Amino acid sequence: MANPNNTYAQRHYESALDFFDQGQYDKAMQQIEKAIQQSPGNPDLYATKGIFLHRMNNMAHAIDAYQAALKVAPDHAFSHYNLGLIYMKQNKALQAIQEWEIVVRARPRDVDAIFNIAVALAHLGKSKQSVPFYKKVLEIDPNHIQTHQNLGVIYRDDGNFALAKKHFTRLKELDSTFVEVVENEIMKCEEQEFLQNLTNSNQQLSETVTHVTGSEVANALIAIIEEDFNLALTLADESLSINPADVQALLIKGQALQGLSRSSDAIAVFMRALAEAPDSTDAMFHLGNIFLGLGELEKALEYFTRLKKYDSEYPLVDENINSIKAKLPHQ
């Protein structure tokens, strides 16, 4: 990396590299210090000292060395990059990002720095914010294996299974190391995508049914109020064709049939309503009224009495019960 322009500094620098490669770290440090003394204005020498200390896991002094390089050359990208690595290792993701952003400003196509920013953002719980940086990496290097893997995980966790599958599939094409694991992820994405589509379809259908049935029932009820019983019957039937168990639609249909003097059909429909909702006081009241009109007093009394047990304050229930009892000899 370094290319000291001082001959003596060059010799010490090369000796430092040799000693470090041999594991003679003390001698390597001595030589790099002598190189710095010979050429104090060379940021690469301070950065090399930082590398030695970094690899020796002496992070505090490594930071000092990189910062010394930056005092000489504030835009020294290599030192900013390595400071970012140390800060990330120390769980200082924000500081790491700041260092790598400086690198990217100087080197817009530095894949490693861009990728590291994305990783740091994800580490901070900002996965969605990391996506544009991962995408930038792929613009520069479409075959960046780790980026495809990370995007696959992000999209999977976000429920975007189609995109997750896309990146996992590309990962499998680029790296056969974890084929079984990746294929398993792809299969899971396909399963989840299917379930997601099914859920969305069911939700859309449910919303449509609710809207349609709700609209038809409301219009049918208006038709009952306006005594347009044929229209009410038609609308109620349309609603019941979508949801045969719709108690409200059954009640309206029964009232429409009652209004059309089709008592037997009305009784059958109100019975259906009671089968769907055994506590439907409205169904009980209408059945009581029909049987009262037909002169079947005991059946009428049965439904009105049953109604009173569910709702003693239901309108006219007491009056009807008393009226029927007065007409029945044995009451």
Domain count along the chain? 1
- Is 52 in contact with 25 (CB distance < 8 Å)? yes
Is 266 inside any structural domain?
yes
Confidence (pLDDT) at 9: 86
Confidence (pLDDT) at 164: 86
Query: Mean pLDDT over residues 170-192, rounded?
Result: 78
Q: Identify the burial level of 98 via C-beta atoms within 10 angstroms of its C-beta, where 0-12 means exposed, 13-18 middle and 19 or more buried.
A: middle
Q: Who's near 94: CB < 8 A, 6+ residues apart?
A: 120, 124
* Residue 1, token pair as written in the block: 């990396």
> Model pTM greater than 0.85?
no
Is 155 inside any structural domain?
no
Q: Residue 291: which domain range? A: 212-327
Q: Who's near 39: CB < 8 A, 6+ residues apart?
A: 4, 5, 6, 9, 45
Is 203 inside any structural domain?
no
Query: Mean pLDDT over residues 169-178, rounded?
Result: 84
Query: Mean pLDDT over residues 207-224, rounded?
Result: 54
**What are the backbone angles phi and psi of residue 56, rounded to the nearest 5°?**
-85, 5
Is 302 inside any structural domain?
yes
Helix axes 179-225, 161-174, angle to 10 degrees: 170
CATH number of the domain at 272, please.
Answer: 1.25.40.10
Confidence (pLDDT) at 308: 85
Res. 324 pLDDT band, cuts 50 70 90? confident
3-state secondary structure 126-142: CHHHHHHHHHHHHHHCC
Residue 154 vs residues 17, 86, 88, 164, 297: alpha-carbon distances, Å: 41, 25, 20, 8, 71
Q: Which sign does the torsion angle of CA 173, 179, 182, 184 carry?
A: positive
Confidence (pLDDT) at 208: 37
Cα–Cα distance, 143 to 183 (Å, whole number): 18
pLDDT at 211 over 50: no
Confidence (pLDDT) at 196: 60
Q: Which sign does the torsion angle of CA 56, 62, 68, 74 carry?
A: positive
Helix axes 145-157, 127-140, angle to 10 degrees: 150
- Is 47 in contact with 69 (CB distance < 8 Å)? yes
Among candidate residues 70, 37, 64, the one with its CA nearest the CA of residue 52: 64
* Residue 260, token pair as written in the block: 């059309």
What's the pLDDT tens digit per position in 246-270?
888 898 899 889 889 999 999 999 9
Is 185 inside any structural domain?
no
Is 261 inside any structural domain?
yes
Is 259 inside any structural domain?
yes
Among candidate residues 227, 221, 290, 233, the one with its CA nearest the CA of residue 257: 233
- Is 233 in contact with 256 (CB distance < 8 Å)? yes
* Residue 79, token pair as written in the block: 């030192």
Res. 202 pLDDT band, cuts 50 70 90? very low
CA 212 from centre of chain = 29
Is 251 inside any structural domain?
yes
Query: Mean pLDDT over residues 183-205, rounded?
Result: 63
Cβ atoms within 10 A of the Cβ of 31, count?
22
